Amino acid sequence: MKNLKIGTFLIILGNLLYVCYTFFCKNEAGNFADFTSGLLLGLSIGSNLIGIILTVTYISKNNKKEDK
C-alpha cells in the first residue's frame, strides 16, 4: 500500500511540475532561464516515470497475490 501512495504522489507531483514548467517558462531569456526550464521539465518527467513504475509494480504484485 505504501508504494501505491508514493507512486500516485509522484505522478501528481510530476504533473504539477509540468504545469509550472508550461506556466513559468514561456518567455525565456538567458542561460539561467534555460537551466531552470530544463530542470523543471526533467524533474517532472523523472517523477512521472518513477511514479508509474512504482504503481505498476504494486498492482502486478497485488494481482499475483490475489490469484493464489
- Indicate the pTM of the whole model: 0.86
Distances (CA, A) of 39 to 6, 56, 61: 21, 26, 33
Cα-based torsion angle of the residue sequence 29, 32, 37, 43 in order, rounded to the nearest 10 degrees: 180
The pLDDT-based confidence of 65 (bands split at 50, 70, 90) is: confident
Q: What is the mean pLDDT of residues 44-61?
A: 95
Residue type, 25: C
The pLDDT-based confidence of 41 (bands split at 50, 70, 90) is: very high
Residue range 14-31, pLDDT digits in tens: 999 999 999 888 777 888
How far apart are the C-alpha atoms of 43 and 33, rounded to whole Å?
A: 15
How far apart are the C-alpha atoms of 18 and 43, rounded to whole Å?
A: 9
The pLDDT-based confidence of 63 (bands split at 50, 70, 90) is: confident
